[in-house]
Structure 1
Amino acid sequence: MIIDSLNNAAKYYNLHPNFKKAFDYIYENDINNLTEGTHEISEGLKAIVIVGEGTSKEKSIKGFECHDKNIDIQISIKGPETFAWKPREKCSSPNGDYSDEKDVRFFHDAPDMFFQLQEKQFAILFPEDVHAAMIGDGLIKKIVFKVKI
């Protein structure tokens, strides 16, 4: 997992060929006015703009998840937003089977920690990172890039 601000995004371009494209999308668009929903950017890269009310830690961790085929870059547009996190290697209580179609695996495990993103900060969540999001009070707007591995 990586947590940083958009000002430092260029430091991570070399980690995956589509990381630069994802951050370029942010710089080339008015992120405050992006429409909610899925935006196909290029092969192996899409953006999902999410707008919703924050939820409790207890409710959010019911969706404690990780992905096998995608890296998430989650960027706070309007927040703050709190995340739950735990390394996948420490998770031992699956919550159902892996969904290949949705590329998601859920766990019943308790998070090891919580962290918060402020506006214009991001988290890069790799397949090793089990996470739950949208924890907070009030309206949260974010963009989630799905970067195909």
Structure 2
Amino acid sequence: MVLDHLSQSSKYTSLHPLFAKAFAYIEQADLASLEVGKFDIDGNNIRAIVSDSNGKTADESTAKFECHNAHIDIQVCIRGRERMGWKARGTCIAPRGEYNAEKDVLFYDDKPDMFFGLTDNQFTIFFPEDVHAPMIGEGMIKKLVIKVKI
């Protein structure tokens, strides 16, 4: 997992061959004006999901404590205060169901080991090894999730 401010994103472009393109999209976008929805950036390799919705309680979010096998998430807080839960996948012991390849998601009944917060222009990168519970907060949270194919 990575946690930083968008002003430092150039430090992470070498972590994956598609990160330079993903962060270039983020830098060039007028984040505040992005419409809610799903957008292709580079076909199936890089997709964007923009949401603007009410935050969830920690219990609501951890009920969908998730990780992905085929994508890396770059999650950007555009507006609001978002908390997220995190736990290393290797320490999770209670998968809930089987991995859903179509939706690229596996849920766990484990609880996060830690919580951290994001606010405007901060981001996190979740790799397949990172089980996460996003969108914890009060009020409206606008965010951008970039799905980068592994």
Q: TM-score range by the shorter chain?
A: over 0.9
Deviation at residue 136 of structure 1 after TM alignment: 0.3
Distance 2:71 2:27 in 1: 22
The runs of 5 or more residues in structure 1 that have no matched partner are: none
Cα separation, 2, equivalents of 1:18 and 1:34 = 21
Match of 1:62 in 2: 63
What's the secondary structure of 1:101's corresponding residue?
A: coil
Deviation at 1:24, TM superposition (A): 1.0
Q: What 5-or-longer segments of structure 2 have no aligned partner?
A: none
TM-score normalised by L of structure 1: 0.98
Report what 2:15 is aligned to: 15
Residues in 2 aligned to 1:75 and 1:41: alpha-carbon distance in whole angstroms: 16
Normalising by structure 2, what TM-score? Answer: 0.97
CA RMSD of aligned residues (A): 0.7
Q: What whole-Å deviation, never above 9, does each CA across 1:104-129 have from its counterpart, x for those lacking one?
A: 00000011000001110000000000
Residue deviations 1:67-107 (CA, integer Å, cap 9, x gap) = 00100000000111000000000101011111000000000
1:131 aligns with 132
Identity %: 50
Q: Does 1:99 align with 2:100?
A: yes
Q: Which amino acid aligns with 1:13?
A: T
Q: How many residues align?
A: 149
* Cα-to-partner distance string for 1:40-73 (whole Å, 9 max, x where unaligned): 0004001100111001101110000000010000
SS of residue in 2 equivalent to 1:97: strand
